[in-house]
Structure 1
Amino acid sequence: MLTGSCFTEHIGNALGEWKFDVLQNPNGILFDPKSVASSLISYVEAKVYGEGDLFYLNELWQSWQHHSIFSGVDKADVLRGINASQQRAHAFLQHADWLVITLGSAFSYRLVENGSAGGEWGQAGLAVANCHRAPAQSFQKHLMTIEEINSAFDSCLYQLFYFNPGLKVLFTISPVRHIRDGVVDNNRSKARLIEAVHHLVNKFDRLWYFPAYELVIDVLRDYRFYDVDMVHPNYPATQFVLEKFVQQCLDAGSRELLEEVKKIVIARKHKPFQPSTQAHRRFLQDQYQRAAALAERYPFLNLEEEMRYFSGE
C-alpha cells in the first residue's frame, strides 16, 4: 500500500505497471501527517462513513477526510465510493507486506469556528485533508510541531503493527515544493517532516527511510529537473528517483525479474503501423509465449491483460 502526497503516485503507478500488487491512496492524495495517520487508523478500524461525515459545498457532496476525486452530486454515490474504498483498504492493509508513506507538508488546516453557516461544514478544530476550495477564512493554517507529528504516527504505527504483525513501513518525503507556503515556510515544513520521520525510524525496527527528497534537492539540485511550474519534479527527475528506488529497495532476484516484466509491458504498448502483416502476427505470438512462460514460472504475476492483447482477444 502507498499513501500520501502526489509523489506517492509516481512510485505507485510505476510499481503497478511493473505488476506489483499495489493499492495506493485509498482516500486520494493526502499531504500532511495528521491526515495520513488518521486515514491509516480508519483503515485498521474499517470505519464506515455516514451522511454526517459529508458536507455540501460548490454543488457537491464532499468529505473533509478525502480528496475531491470522491466528491459528487449524489450523496449516496459519494458514500458508496468512500466506503467501498475503505473496505478495500482494510482488507489490503491486513495482508500487505509494505506500507509506503510519502509526506508532503507539515502544514495542517483546521476548521475555525463560524467558518461555515451554522457549523454545517463540521466541528471547529477538525483537521481537514483537503480544503475543497472553501473560503480561506474557513481554516486555520497550522505548522505541526515535530512532537505533534511524532505523536500522530506513534499511536498510528502501534495500531498498524498490531493489526498486521508482518507489516514493514517505508517513509519518504516528497520533493514537490510547496511554494504557496513561501520558500522559507516550505523549508521549515520539510525540515520538520524529515526530523520527525528519522525519529520514528530510529524508534521502530520495522521502519525505513528512502531519500526521495534528498535525491532531487541535493543530488540533482538543478531547476532543469523541475516542471514548468518549478514545483513538481519532471519526468527525468522522477525516473532518476525510481532507478534509485529499484536499486535500494529490490533484491537482485526481483530486479532481474523486473527487467523481464518491463520487456513485456513495453511490448504491450507497441503500436504497429501494419497490424495485418505476418511479421506483426509473429511478434504477437512471440510476446504471448514469453508472457505465458513468465506467468508459469512466477504464478504471482498478473499478466492476463498482456496475454489477452497478444492473443488478439
Structure 2
Amino acid sequence: MNLQTQIPLKPQQYNQIDYNSKVLLLGSCFSENIGNKFAYHKFQSIINPFGILFHPIAIEHLITRAINKDYYSEDDVCFHNEQWFCLDAHSKLNKASKDELLSVLNSQIDETLDNLVNASHVIITLGTSWVYRHIESDKVVANCHKLPQKQFLKELGSVDTITESLQAIITLIKSVNPKVNLLFTVSPVRHIKDGFIENTQSKAHLITAIHNVVEPRQQLYYFPSYEIMMDELRDYRFYSSDMLHPNDVAINYIWEKFKTVWLSVDALQTLDKIAAIQTKKEHRPFNSNSESHQKFLSKLHLEEADICAKFPHISF
C-alpha cells in the first residue's frame, strides 16, 4: 500500500554541484535552512549577505546595487528603537552606530558582487509575492523593521511584475557571470499573517512567474521545494510548533531530495565522509585521556587531513 504521493525527480544531467562549486544562496528563511546544510557539509557556500529577503524585488534591488557598486550613504539608513537600520536589509545587520552600519552594508555590497562574479550556482528561494511600499520614499522595502504600519502600503506583486523582476535578476547576474547556473525554488513556509487565501495566491504568483523564466537550456532551473512539502509531507507532524515552518525532519527530507537531483556522485561520496567526521567530532568521551579515545582522535585527524588534502578550502 502506497500512503504517500511522490514527486518524480531525476538527477540533474548537467551542471551538478560538487566540492569545487561555489554556491550563493539568496532569499527566504528556507534559503538559510538549505544553506546551513551546505555549510555543515563544507561546501563553498555563502548565505544571504544582506540577511533574509522574502520577495523578488528585494533580491533584485540587492543585486542591482551590488553589480553597480551603489554604496550606501547616511541618506539610506534610519534610526528607530535605539538602532540604525536599512530598509533594504534584514534586521540582523542592525547596529547601534550609523558608521558601523554603513561599513557593514558596503562591505556586504562588495561581498555580494564578488560572490555573484565567482559563483557556479546561485540558488534563489522566494517566499512571498506580498511587498510593503514605504510611503515617504515610494520604495518597496525588504524589511519594515517594526516601524509603524501607517508608514507602509501593502501590495500584492502581480505575475507580470514578479516575472519582470526575475528577468532583471537573471540579466544582471549573467552580465557579470555568463556561465552561472540559476536555480529557483519557492519556500514551503506559509505566510498566514497575510491570510490563508492571500498566502495561496501569493505562492501561485511566485510559481507562475518562475515558470515564465525557467529554461534549462539557458541554465535556469526550478527545484520543487514547495511541492515536496505540500504533496509528499502532507501532515502537520512535519511542521514546527507554529504549524507554519517546516521542522527539522521536513528540512532534512527536502535536503535529501535536493541531494539526489543536484549533487554529483563524487560530491555525495565526499559528503558522506564529511558527515561521518562531523558526527565523530560531536562525540563526548567518558574519559578523554583514555588510550582508546586517543586512538579515536588520531584516526579522526587522519580522516580530516585526507579531506583537506583533496579540498584545501575545507577546514574542520
TM-score, reference length from structure 2: 0.90
How far has the Cα of 1:299 moved from its partner? 2.7
Q: Secondary structure of the residue that 1:15 maps to in structure 2?
A: helix
Q: Deviations over 1:142-200 (max 9, x none)?
A: 00001001111212211211101121111010000101011100000000000000111
Pairing 1:87–2:110 present: yes
Match of 2:168 among 155, 158, 165: 155
Tell me the equivalent position of 2:69: 46
Q: Is the 8 A contact 2:186 2:224 kept in 1?
A: yes
Q: Which amino acid aligns with 1:33?
A: P
Gaps of 5+ in 1: 114-122, 307-313
Q: Which residue of 2 is the match for residue 101 of structure 1?
A: 124
| Structure 2: gaps of 5 or more residues | 1-23
Of 37, 46, 59, the match for 2:60: 37
Structure 1 letter corresponding to 2:311? P
1:264 corresponds to 2:287 = no
Partners of 1:271 and 1:97 in 2: CA distance: 38
Q: Which runs of 4+ in 1 moved over 3 A?
A: none
Moved more, 265-274 or 157-166: 265-274
| SS of residue paired to 2:184 | strand
CA contact (8 A) 1:23 1:89 kept: no
**AA paired with 2:219?**
R
Residue aligning to 1:283:
296
Aligned to 2:12: none
* In 1: Cα distance, 2:313 partner to 2:41 partner: 9
What is the identity, as a one-letter code, of the residue corresponding to 2:144?
Answer: C
- State how far apart, in whole Å, the 2-side matches of 1:204 and 1:65 are: 33
How many residues are matched? 293
Residues 307, 314 of structure 2: 8 Å contact kept: no
**What is the match of residue 129 of structure 1?**
142
Distance across 2 between alignment mates of 1:295 and 1:36: 34
Contact 2:166-2:210 within 8 A present in 1 as well: no
- 1:239 aligns with 252
- Rounded Cα–Cα distance in structure 1 between residues aligned with 2:293 and 2:129: 53
Residue deviations 1:110-135, cap 9 Å, x none?
0124xxxxxxxxx1x21110010011
Aligned-residue identity in percent: 35
| Structure 2 counterpart of 1:8, one-letter code | S
Q: Could you say what secondary structure the match of 1:261 adopts?
A: helix
Going from structure 1 to structure 2, the CA distance change for 1:282 and 1:203 (only over 3 Å counts) comes to closer
CA contact (8 A) 1:43 1:87 kept: yes
Distance in 1 of aligned mates of 2:205 and 2:110: 32
CA RMSD of aligned residues (A): 1.3
Aligned equivalents of 2:188 and 2:311: distance in 1? 36
The superposition leaves residues 209-228 of structure 1 with CA deviations (integer Å, 9 ceiling, x where unpaired) of: 11110101111111111111
Whether the aligned pair in 1 keeps the contact of 2:129 and 2:156 (CA below 8 Å) is yes
Deviation, structure 1 residue 42: 1.8
**What pairs up with 1:1-313 in 2 under 5 angstroms?**
1-113=24-136, 123=137, 125-202=138-215, 205-296=218-309, 298-303=310-315, 306=316
Separation in 2, partners of 1:233, 1:203: 28
Kept in 2, the 8 Å contact 1:34–1:127? The answer is: yes
Contact 2:29–2:52, Cα closer than 8 Å, also in 1: yes
Distance 2:241 2:312 in 1: 40
